[in-house]
Amino acid sequence: QVQLVESGGGSVQAGGSLRLSCASSGGNVRLTVMGWFRQAPGKEREGVAGIDNDGKTRYADSVAGRFTISKDNAKNTLYLQLSDLRPEDTATYYCAADDRFLAAPTTAIAGYKFKGRGTQVTVSS
């Protein structure tokens, strides 16, 4: 079973930055897509950013130009750089991965087979 463990969340003021990390381990599968989704209290899950094995990245309109997804295959780690944070970015951020797909549209990320437990990001105004 693949395990995903997020880290790097915290509390920042509007305009600040954070970098989230997601370490993957275990399982005997070749992950083909990875991404991040978030969920705020009382709101639906929102796919934020995805990356496929060709390195193609996709972003939700709400974060495009402010967030950057990347991965280090040697370290089995996925990253999400959050910049110019806004209060509306406050949410629990989850790492997710799958071995069934070749592309990583943000609308699919919350439905991926493997998910972490999340890390909290709080942005104050």
| Beta carbons within 10 angstroms of residue 87's beta carbon | 11
Instruction: Give the residues across from 37 on adjacent strands.
Output: 47, 94
111: CB partners within 8 A, 6+ apart:
none
Contact (CB, 8 A) for 69 and 55: no
| pLDDT tens-digit map of 29-77 | 899 999 999 999 999 999 999 999 999 999 999 999 999 999 999 999 9
**Res 1: pLDDT:** 87
Averaged confidence pLDDT in the chain = 96
d(CA 30, CA 20): 22
Contact (CB, 8 A) for 51 and 102: no
Contact (CB, 8 A) for 18 and 86: no
